[in-house]
Amino acid sequence: MEDLAEYHGPISKRQAEEILNEAGRDGSYLIRDSMSAAGSYCVCVLVFRQKDGLWTIEVAPGMKERLFRKVENLIAAFKIPDQGISVPLMYPVNKPK
């Protein structure tokens, strides 16, 4: 996860919202550690690692759950419109160096 430029580490939800507000574009996203689910991450919605090591994201009701071996693959899939989340992940907001 640390390899991804858009991974911001253990920042709060409020900090993430502030960073995304500064970006000011619908479809902007970043990744941060989940504060409520240890070992999970947030990408606009919670990203879960299952017991088998696969990753999934919460999708709209009626949409089929999709499983991914890598978070990078999950992000690539949800950059495409109409995949079950309200806005595609279009604009990564990278952590400042």
Name the pTM for this structure: 0.73
pLDDT tens across the length of the chain (97 residues): 888 999 999 999 899 988 988 887 767 899 999 989 888 998 865 677 888 999 888 777 888 888 999 988 998 998 998 888 877 888 899 998 7
Under DSSP, the state recorded for 31 is B
Written as six digits, the tokens of 87 are 């806005």
C-alpha distance from residue 2 to each of 7, 57, 79 (Å):
6, 19, 20
The per-residue pLDDT for 32 is: 94
The per-residue pLDDT for 85 is: 83
